[in-house]
């Protein structure tokens, strides 16, 4: 399942990408543009705007009305309401480019990362769009804990 995310939901959009989902987000976009992207690309529209949900439904566009103002609860609602907990693939997508990362061999990584990184890390992946190389150490330390909490539905302190 892929998404187009209303501009009110930027942090949720970012976290859906961290969890591996294809989520298109614009910091500014007209409702008509969101609706046409959702329709043309068969994306589910995520929004907190009741009027926009009504317009989406009238046009047969898949959408989900997000209830909470808190991003953790927003992400959790998407995962639970759309039955996506089993499809979470953390760190499999470039958050900047919204494209899936590709596995990168150590041999190829050797030309792209600093020697001390190569020495300490085993697994590498590459964003085919921006060329950035990722490895487990590139994640913020608290991200994995947040993901575990999101999947379990625990209450997470708001950061
Ligand atoms: Zn990228």
What's the mean pLDDT when you consider all of the chain? 91
Phi, psi for residue 25 in degrees, rounded to 5: -140, 135
Compute, in angstroms, the gap from residue 58 CA to the centroid of ligand 1: 35
Question: Could you tell me if 22 and 65 are in contact, meaning their C-beta atoms sit under 8 angstroms apart?
Answer: no
Question: Could you tell me if 137 and 120 are in contact, meaning their C-beta atoms sit under 8 angstroms apart?
Answer: yes
The residue among 124 and 138 whose pLDDT is bigger is: 124
Compute, in angstroms, the gap from residue 104 CA to the centroid of ligand 1: 14
pLDDT reported for residue 159: 44
In which band, very low, low, confident or very high, does the pLDDT at 158 lie, cut at 50, 70 and 90?
very low
pLDDT at 101 over 50: yes
Q: Which residue has the tokens 């409702």?
A: 31
Compute, in angstroms, the gap from residue 130 CA to the centroid of ligand 1: 4
Which of 1-10, 89-98, 131-140 has the lowest average pLDDT?
A: 131-140
Q: For residues 55 and 50, what is the distance between their CA atoms, to the nearest angstrom?
A: 9
Rounded to the nearest 10 degrees, the angle between the axes of helix 31-40 and helix 50-58 is 40
Where are any strands of DSSP class E within 41-101?
44-47, 63-65
Q: For residues 3 and 136, what is the distance between their CA atoms, to the nearest angstrom?
A: 26
The mean per-residue pLDDT over the stretch 87-93 comes to 93
Q: What is the pTM of this model?
A: 0.89
83 φψ region: left (φ > 0), alpha (ψ -120 to 50), beta (else): left
Compute, in angstroms, the gap from residue 134 CA to the centroid of ligand 1: 10
Give the rounded distance of the alpha carbon of 97 from its chain centre.
Answer: 11
**Strand partners for 100:** 93
Tokens linked to 82: 């759309």
The mean per-residue pLDDT over the stretch 59-78 comes to 96
The mean per-residue pLDDT over the stretch 40-57 comes to 97
Give the rounded distance of the alpha carbon of 78 from its chain centre.
Answer: 11
pLDDT reported for residue 63: 97
Compute, in angstroms, the gap from residue 126 CA to the centroid of ligand 1: 8
């Amino acid at each position: 399942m892929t998404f187009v995310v209303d501009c009110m939901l930027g942090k949720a959009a970012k976290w859906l990408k961290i969890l591996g989902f294809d989520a298109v987000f614009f910091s500014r976009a007209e409702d008509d543009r969101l609706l046409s992207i959702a329709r043309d690309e068969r994306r589910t529209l995520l929004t907190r705007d009741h009027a926009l949900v009504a317009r989406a439904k009238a046009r047969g566009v898949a959408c989900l009305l997000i209830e909470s103002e808190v991003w953790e609860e927003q992400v959790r609602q998407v995962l639970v309401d759309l039955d996506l907990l089993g499809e979470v693939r953390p760190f499999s997508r470039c958050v900047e480019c919204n494209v899936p990362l590709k596995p990168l061999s150590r041999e190829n990584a050797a030309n792209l990362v600093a020697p001390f990184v190569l020495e300490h890390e085993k697994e590498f992946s590459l964003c085919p769009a921006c060329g950035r190389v990722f490895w487990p150490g590139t994640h913020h330390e608290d991200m994995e804990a947040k993901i575990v909490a999101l999947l379990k539905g625990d209450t997470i302190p708001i950061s």
